[in-house]
A and B are shown apart, each in its own frame.
Chain A
Amino acid sequence: MNARTDEKERKKIKAVKKMKEIMTFYYIDAKTASETGKKVAWITSGGPVEPLIAMDVIPVYPENHGAMIGAAKMGVELCEKAEAMGYSGDLCSYARSDIACATVNGGPIGGLPRPDMLVCCNNICGTVLKWYEIQARYFNCPLFILDTPFCHTSFSAEAKRYVRRQIDEYITFLEDVCKKPFDRDRMAEVGRLSIEGQRLWQAVLDTTINRPAPMTAFDAFFHLALIVTLRGTQQAVDYYRLLLDEMNERVREGVGAVDEEKYRLLWDNLPIWYRTKWLSDKFAAHGACLVADTYTSAWCSSLKYMNEDDFLESMAEGYTRIYLNIGVDEMARTVIAMIDKYGADGLVMHSNRSCKPYSLGQYDIRSIVERERGVPTLIIEADMCDERNFAEAQIEGRIDAFMEMMAAKGSA
């Protein structure tokens, strides 16, 4: 084994294997739920999963599935199928992929298991409301909507009351569908595990404060899966502890994710799933490490509002005040705080045609960040799942020009 292969081997994150194993068993469990008598709920990525776990319901995430479809480069085919069904090509590519996939059981895992119920929380967008209405009609199954009022500048007392009441409605809904009482002791335990998992995930992400960073945002995109899908389980806690140990070990040994880390960048918006490897290599070739991102950190962005001793009470606020459900100026403040925390020299924004609440407002965030921190921004126009909206040559040119500008700035 030569030195180069040796170094490559050293850089590989060992926990990846464990993660793949967990996700495989998770999907086997979900897909065989009808045989084991368990119920399946489809839930939005920012949705309140903990009560489902407490009720022994298997949560399934169409958005995680969308990411898998994107990463498997199967997005275009499914999006085209949705367009043939009458859905506009301008709609969210996760939604298009999922809606089409449900009718043909396509995609990388042959479709998701049929839902017994749908749980939609609109804290991430209005798209999920429409998407889940469509699926509720298609599968003819009950739909619960957790309506989390948008916090432009504040979280009002009225909104808090409204969301809190809906948590009780949610529990009643689950009791009705599952035909069994809600176990509050179990819920308290799941709540504690959820918060512990989120803290560990934040700790994992924070290891990139170190120079060189032991992992990149591209790694975070991968390791994110458990905090989304298995939040509130011991399994997620154990996994992130393992991953955190490995990252701390790398920090101690000085193992960086990128060779000769010269530039530290912050990523904004969802990943471009079908090009993560390409983008990762592209930035790494310039000695640029994407040290953090606004996307994967969103799953622990509400920790400050959560109370582990009273999870149900605090989740109304925690689920309402997540990163996407806040005003553009508060998002900009979050970006600035991340730039400071992770020592980022530049900002890379994915202007994502699929996600208006994430993308509209990015130009203003860019201006605020440039004004407040003098940090330059690169905007990549693309889409998270629909490869037809990725112009490789143009994007490559823009990345190269941006990195040359960073280099010139560094040497100036």
Chain B
Amino acid sequence: MKFDRLKEIVEDPWGTLGEMKERGKKVVGYACSYVPEELIIAAGAHPARLTGTREGIRLADGHLQSYCCSLVRGILEDGLSGRGAVLDGVVFPHTCDSIQRLSDIWRLNVKGGFHLDLVLPVKLDTDSARDYLVDVLKRFLSDLERALGVEVSEADLRASCLLTNEIRRLLHELYMIRWRRPELLAGADLHLLNRAVGIADRNLIVETLREAVADLGADGARETTKGNKNILLAGGMCSTPDIFNLVAEAGGRVVWDDFCNGGRMFLEPLRLDGDPIAAVADRFLSRVVCPCKHRGLTDRANHLKALATERGAGAVVFVHLKYCDPHAFDFPYLKAELEKTGIPSLLLEVEDPLPPGAQIRTRLEAFLEMLD
């Protein structure tokens, strides 16, 4: 399966967004998976997930200390360098302490375009938090309407909910195909798709995913059996496609991932009856949480254990960005809980782009050898 067009898009996200803008589309950048794309699409704009620059850092270091993660630094660099000027506006949701400050620093230093803070609740398991979340989403929609000079109807919202649900359904299906027949889709291609989902025209995404599912999904009979070297990748936002190849080269097989720009993207479809805003809120409340959010004390461990078992993973490889506090805090507990169910795990601390050198390869090889 070829994804040439998507490859071009992922390799030149700003060029892609610039072309859209030339065609008259408004482009809204956002910084985390807790921003509801449905609302941006319903407002007639194109949502673009900011994932940090692939270029060198020249300007962001003047605003951020060394102990800030490469994702936040990379996003700021795109803003300061002027690449982000193509954006009609940006949305920063409340997630971690670093993204919270990134929003302030962007607002004070990157001019042009509107700036919205989506101050979501951190608790996601109480009635008052749900009511607040619905309130915040409603306000966000009216802020977007004002900023973009549009009025959003319920029909617009329903249409965008259908679109994002279709993307989720197709992505899930593709993950399932790959899970059954891993040889059909290279991990790096899957990663490419995941990245493209946040950048490309969403209709192009649907078209590509439909084709891929039709092409690859013919034979779905085989089931992956549990294997010691079946790997579940887990972490926050993964910007390192190499990780799929590195696992393969070390003798393992990535059967699933739990990244927020991967397997967590398509969890929990939107309910299509009733109020669309409430449906968007309920999806955030029911989806397994990012470690910046709270929904009980065991939510993430239960999710990972169930996912590993369901997908026949023999081990988990955590891929964390260096200086990502929320994920680092959860790691010892998740590792211990996985061990209780006989699932070993390895932590790789990475920066984007991955530094050259063999350290990660060596660690993966040693870990996979141990799994024999």
Contact = CB atoms under 8 A, between A and B. Distances in A.
A276 interface: no
A353 B67 contact: yes
Nearest to B61: A363
Contact of A126 (B64, B292, B332): B292
A88 B104 CA distance: 27
B291 interface: yes
A137 B131 CA distance: 27
A357 interface: yes
B366 interface: no
A133 B121 contact: no
Nearest to B65: A351
Interface string B84-113: 000000000010111011111101110000
A343 interface: no
B114 interface: no
Interface in A137-185: 137, 143, 145, 147, 149-153, 156, 158-159, 161-162, 165-166, 169
A153 B114 CA distance: 14
A111 interface: no
Given A158-B132, A328-B105, A361-B105, A134 B97 contact: no
Contacts of B283: none
B190 interface: no
Contacts of B349: 88
B121 A152 contact: no
Contacts of A165: 128, 131
Contacts of B328: 87-88, 90-91
A159 B126 CA distance: 15
Interface in A334-392: 351, 353, 356-357, 359-364, 381
Interface in B145-180: none
A360 B107 contact: no
Contacts of B126: 166, 169
Interface string B115-154: 0010101110010110110011001000000000000000
Contacts of B335: 86
Contacts of B132: 149, 158-159, 161-162
Centre residue among A92, A147, A151, A166 by max chain B CB count within 10 A: A147
A91 B329 contact: yes
A302 interface: no
A328 B101 contact: yes
Contact of B122 (A129, A329, A360): A129
B121 A162 contact: yes
Interface stretch (B6-14, B37-45, B264-272, B319-327): B319-327
B367 interface: no
B119 A149 contact: yes
A80 B198 CA distance: 40
Which residue, A86, A165, A360, has most C-beta atoms of chain B within 10 A?
A360
A298 interface: no
A353 B64 CA distance: 12
Given A150-B119, A356-B67, A360-B64, A127 B136 contact: no
B221 interface: no
Given A145-B122, A153-B117, A357 B97 contact: yes
Nearest to B125: A145
A134 B329 contact: yes
Interface in A77-115: 85-88, 90-92, 95
Nearest to A82: B332
**Which one of B62, B98, B325 has the greatest number of beta carbons of chain A within 10 Å?**
B325
B370 interface: no
Contacts of A137: 297-298, 333
A327 B104 contact: yes
Contact of A145 (B108, B294, B322, B330): B294
A357 B63 contact: no
Given A156-B119, A360-B101, A127 B62 contact: no
A327 B136 CA distance: 18
Given A137-B297, A149-B94, A353-B67, A92 B325 contact: yes
Contact of A361 (B104, B122, B131): B104
A136 B297 contact: yes
Interface centre among B68, B104, B122, B126 (most CB of A within 10 A): B104
Nearest to A360: B101
B331 interface: yes
Interface string B354-372: 0000000000000000000
A86 B331 contact: yes
Contacts of A86: 331-332, 335
Contacts of B101: 328, 356-357, 360-361
Nearest to B139: A158
B119 A133 contact: no
A22 interface: no
A125 interface: yes
Contacts of B122: 122, 126, 129, 145, 147
A359 B322 CA distance: 17
A90 B322 contact: yes
Given A87-B332, A91-B328, A329-B104, A133 B297 contact: yes
Interface in A15-68: none
Contacts of A353: 65, 67
B97 A125 contact: yes
B297 A130 contact: no
B97 A159 contact: no
A162 B129 CA distance: 7
Contacts of B94: 149-150
Given A91-B325, A149-B94, A364 B121 contact: no
Contacts of B322: 90
B76 to A, nearest CB: 10
A125 B34 CA distance: 19
Contacts of A127: 97, 325, 329
A130 B131 contact: no
Contacts of A166: 126, 128
B92 to A, nearest CB: 8
Given A133-B294, A356-B98, A126 B325 contact: yes
Given A169-B128, A356-B101, A360-B98, 15 more contacts: A87-B328, A88-B331, A129-B122, A129-B292, A133-B297, A150-B119, A152-B117, A153-B107, A156-B139, A158-B132, A159-B119, A162-B128, A359-B65, A360-B65, A364-B104
Nearest 10 CB-CB pairs, A to B? A86-B332, A130-B329, A162-B132, A328-B104, A158-B135, A360-B101, A88-B328, A165-B128, A357-B97, A356-B97
22 contacts: A90-B328, A127-B325, A137-B333, A149-B94, A149-B119, A150-B94, A150-B117, A153-B107, A156-B119, A161-B132, A162-B121, A162-B129, A166-B126, A329-B104, A329-B107, A356-B98, A356-B101, A357-B97, A360-B97, A361-B101, A364-B105, A381-B65
Interface of B: 62-65, 67-68, 94, 96-98, 100-105, 107-109, 117, 119, 121-123, 126, 128-129, 131-132, 135-136, 139, 291-292, 294, 297-298, 322-323, 325-326, 328-333, 335, 349
